[in-house]
Structure 1
Amino acid sequence: MRTPQSHTALENAPSQSTLEDLRMPVKAKLAAAWTSFMFLYIYVDYLALYKPGFIDVIRAGTVQEFHTGPTFVGMALTLIAIPGLMIMLSVTLPARVNRTINLVVATLYIPVSVFNAAGETSTYAYFYGISIGLEVLLLAFILRSAWTWPRRTA
């Protein structure tokens, strides 16, 4: 005979109701998107090193027709430092400034991402098509998240 306390494990299992889905703060969404963008951006450059002859071209002092001197290295550092800084800025800046900076920087990075495929052969069109597509999708997510930032009513 069953007592009120002797329920089976199945009877004590959580119900099949909807999962709790708390609203993520916009700042956290932006930081996560910039983190994803930065990793993708870095790994595209890293994986390009596996293309036959690419390292030889770098050793010869050029990348996509640019001389690999101090200006190139400084520009490359700047291009990766900005998304890295955007992670921190997205979490720490006040909402109004945060929104504006995210809208501006994400907009400016769309042509930067597309330019990275300039001069590439059709052999790697799939590689660059996927990587640029993902980068632009992340930037679009950043733009949408910043643009639709919830407003507090007075």
Structure 2
Amino acid sequence: MTRTDRPAGVLQEAHIPVQAKLAAAWASFMFLYIYVDYLALYKPGFIDDILAGTVHEFDTGPTFVALALTLMAVPILMILLSTTLPARVARATNLVVATLYIPVSVYNAAGESWTYLSFYGLSIGLELLLLAFILRAAWTWPRIARTTAGRDLAQDRV
């Protein structure tokens, strides 16, 4: 089918670089992660617990705050790193970080009451879908063929 043979109204698919896909996925993950924490503030007693110095049975001291910042900073940095690191390094970094965030996401439901399990189940399910997308996009990162002495060779794998 040539360009003129296409039926009217058919949309052209845009080629989006894998780096942009990964950055978009990490941004989506980050926003979801933030909004889950924000919406948790609406649970009865949650703010009272914060004011008393605890979140999910953890003291809200310097260690908790540093850990919370680290858990948020990593996806934020992955947006930048996915688009600026060399392809091989970006691919490996995305594979490692997304894999490490799977248990982190699942852990967020630990100790929650059944009342809010659907809220956390939905949010964790969405986080896991985004992480699976990141893993798939990084794993299947397109390779370019290079020609050496008249033969086509696939570029070395990571």
**Letter paired with 1:56:** D
> Does the 8 Å CA contact 1:102/1:146 hold for their aligned counterparts?
yes
1:56 aligns with one of 43, 48, 53: 48
* Residue identity matched to 1:93: L
Q: 1:65 deviation in Å?
A: 1.3
Q: Which has the larger radius of gyration?
A: 1
Q: Distance in 1 between matches of 2:18 and 2:57?
A: 40
Aligned to 2:36: 44
> Aligned-pair distance for 1:17?
4.8
List runs of 5+ in structure 2 lacking aligned partners. 1-6, 147-158
User: What's the counterpart of residue 145 of structure 1?
Assistant: 137
Q: Structure 1 residue aligned with 2:59, among 67, 83, 99? A: 67
In structure 2, what residue type is equivalent to 1:33? A
Query: Structure 2 CA distance, aligned partners of 1:69 and 1:17?
Result: 58
Post-superposition CA distance 1:81-135 (Å, at most 9, x none): 0000000000100100000000000000010011111110000011001000000
CA distance in 1, matches of 2:44, 2:129: 29
- Distance in 1 (CA, whole Å) between partners of 2:39 and 2:138 is 31
Residue type matched to 1:89 in 2? L
> Distance in 2 between the 1:44 and 1:136 partners?
14
Report the identity percentage: 74
Q: TM-score normalized by structure 1?
A: 0.89
Aligned pair partner of 1:135 in 115, 127, 151 = 127
2:5 is aligned with 1:18: no
Of the three residues 29, 33, 57, the one matched with 2:25 is: 33
TM superposition outliers: structure 1 runs of 4+ over 6 Å: none
Contact 1:64 / 1:118 at 8 angstroms: preserved in 2? Answer: no
What is the one-letter code of the residue matched to 2:88?
A: R
More strand, by proportion = 2
The DSSP-based 3-state class of the residue aligned with 1:109 is: helix
Once the two structures are superposed, residues 24-58 of structure 1 have per-residue CA deviations (whole angstroms, 9 ceiling, x without a partner) of 10000000000000000000000000000000011
Inter-partner Cα distance in structure 2 for 1:151 and 1:108? 25
TM-score norm. by structure 2 comes to 0.87
